[in-house]
Every structure is written in structure tokens, then in C-alpha cells.
Amino acid sequence: MMKLLLLLSLVALAQCDIRRVPLQKGKSLRKQLKEHGLLEDFLKKHPYNPASKYNHVFTATESYEPMTNYMDASYYGTISIGTPSQDFTVIFDTGSSNLWVPSVYCKSLACSNHNRFNPSMSSTYVSTNETIYIAYGTGSMSGILGYDTVTVSSIDVENQIFGLSESEPGYFFYYCNFDGILGLAFPSISSSGATPVFDNMMSQDLVSQDLFSVYLSKDGESGSFVLFGGIDPNFTSKGIYWVPLSAETYWQITMDRVTIGEKNAACLLTCQAIVDTGTSLLVMPEDAYNRVISDLGISSDDEISCDDISKLPDITFHINGYAFSLPASAYVLNEDGACSLGIENMGVPTESGELWILGDVFIRKYYVIFDRSNNKLGFSPLS
């Protein structure tokens, strides 16, 4: 199935290195603690605390996964697979459903500078004869499926099916600073019918609630996380606005309309949108994009003067009776004095029709709760 994950560029940035040079990756704190057998004790004594004023204590079945914010363009964390564990950085992607990582069988250039899973080094690996192919908006992978223990933060998911890439054609993944992708959408869109990681967390009773929540920091700051099985009350002080899902595929919802300032624009008589942590920008169908650009008074090249940010109107998404507004400071990207619009033209419709994608530009303004028990999304405004 053609995937919606665009991992779009900020002008030419994307989640990958802007200079098209492989990153020099050092060991994370999590990896160092794990290597010395100290990670479990550390997590018990130091529950996730994005700022000192926060004191929420996470239970054993509420497990946070810290994520690195790479230039506000991508957010990724570290998981491990196998026994003994092999570590990988992955995008936690609510716009797809499969877990895959590079493997030692992969000879593509894109695999040459990333961690590769070696099945022969894991005593718990179980092979299959099944294959997998996934096409994303900016790249693709193909390979085989296998089973092993996957550890996400402090949660050990046994017998998790995942993809081992044998081919990652092109250059896109080569320049990306993550190894693979962990999909958090519904099983219905999973390639090869593979059970998603969070579905196994639920079925194996590894989380106290069948939901997870996401906080994405801005301006490259630390503190981003996925919290599996819980809601952090420190991020919901302004209330939670619940929206029912319109489809159990992506995290898809119905928008009533979209306004630019006081003008009705683009989405006039309802339209469908997905909330996607794996997409950097706001992505719109072509007609809607052209209408928004026109109403904003921006030229088609999307380049704007940083001095004009204060003059631009809010973009407001009217969803389930609520108004979710984005100021220009949120949808205009300022990179060292060079400003561009954080909005992208979808172009060709997806297999699911003309969907809007509410990517990281939108999610950074809200603490988002992905509730599988009730098939709904919760949004709590951030200051």
C-alpha cells in the first residue's frame, strides 16, 4: 500500500542531513546505561521529567520513549531488537503500521551507514518465508519478515513481527539520521498483514491503557516523547478536546472546515485529515493548497520575508466543533533568518482520496493522545 509518510523537507532539509553528509552518531545516554546494566534501575529512579516543575510518576505500565528533535524536521528514538539486544533509531510514525530496520542482507547504499540487524546474533529470532514491500512518499524498502523480542523503552514485546530490509533503493534513506520506522497506525494498513508493535503491546497486556500520547518539542529543544499506556497530566492543564476517528486506518478524522483569518478557505464542506507524526509539514490536496496560498497572499515559491510573519493570519482547523488555530509563527519555518512556508502540496491524491496531513507543524502546538480503546484523538493545547 502506498504510504503517506512524506518526511518532507524544510525547503531542502528534511529529516536527513541538510548537507547531504552522513551523521557521525555517538552513543545515547540510554545506550550507555543499557551497556552497563543500569538502564532499568535508572528508569525506576528517574521517571521521565521534561522540566523540573513536573513531578508525574509513571507506573510500570506507563512507559515513555524519549525522542531526539532533529531541527524540527524529524523526531526519533531508540529501540532494541533481539537477544542480546541490537539498537536502532526509528521514527515513531502514526502514518504507517509496520516496524522495519535495515539488515545485514541489505547491500543498498542507504544501509551502508546505518545499524543493520543480524539475525544470526539473536538467540530469539525466528525466520519466515514471507516478504515485505513498503513505498513511502520519499523512498521505499523491500525485504523479509521475521519475529523477535522488540524493546521500546522499558517494554519488552515478545514475538514481534518486523521487516528486515534487503533493499532501500535511491539516496533518501542514506541521508536520514534514523535507521528504520516504527508504525503506530492501525493493522488495516499494515503491509503483508504484519501486526503493529502497539497492537502487540495491547494484546500482551504491557500497557495499562490502550492508548499512547505524543509531545513534540519545538526550536530543536529536547523533551520530546511518546508515552505508551498513559497521559501525562502536566501537558493537559488546558483541557483535552476529543475527536472521533472517521476511519480505522491512519489516525483519520473529519474536518468541518478550514479558515484563513476570517475567511473560509479550502475545506468548505468537510474534508478528511490524518494526524501524522512521520510528516514534517502540513500537507494539503492541490486545490486546497492553491487556495490557502492565495488567501495568505504568498507567491507560489513559498518563500516569504521573515518580517512578514507578524502580518500573516492564523490558519484555523475546525474539527468536531472545536477550533484549532495555528499562528504564522507555527506554520512559517525560520531557519537562521531564512523563512519558508511549512505547507506542502500533496499533488496526486492518495489511495484514500484527497487527505490533508496534519504533520509536525500542527502537532507541535498540541499534546496529542491516540486512543485505541475508544478510537478517538485527544488534543490538549500547549503554551
- Which listed residue (72, 87, 93, 199) is catalytic? 93
Closest CA to 199 of 228, 163, 226: 228
Alpha-carbon distance of 48 to 34, in angstroms, equals: 16
Q: What are phi and psi of 64, to 5 degrees?
A: -90, 150
Amino acid residing at 43: L
Whose cell is 500537507? That residue is 283
Q: Is the dihedral of CA 136, 114, 125, 198 positive or negative?
A: negative
DSSP for 205-221 reads T-SSSSEEEEE--STT-
- For residue 49, CA distances in Å to 39, 54, 67, 117, 222 come to 16, 6, 13, 31, 11
Among 72, 276, 302, 371, the one annotated catalytic: 276
φ, ψ of residue 98 to 5 degrees: the values are -100, 150
Whether residue 48 contacts residue 77, with contact meaning beta carbons closer than 8 Å, is answered with no
CA separation, residue 364 to residues 37, 73, 221, 273, 367 (Å) = 34, 11, 12, 17, 8
- The grid coordinates of residue 130 equal 514471507
**Would you say how long the chain is, in residues?**
383
Catalytic site includes residue 371: no
72 part of the active site: no
Tell me if 90 sits within 8 A of 181, measured CB to CB.
Answer: yes
Collect all residues with Cβ–Cβ distance below 8 Å to 363 and sequence separation of at least 6: 214, 216, 275, 277
DSSP result, 292-357? HHHHHT--TT-EE-GGGGGGSPPEEEEETTEEEEE-HHHHEEEETTEEEE-EEE--S-BTTBS-EE
Residue reference for cell 524529524: 74
Which helix (H) or strand (E) segment holds residue 287: the answer is helix 286-296
Active site residues: 93, 276
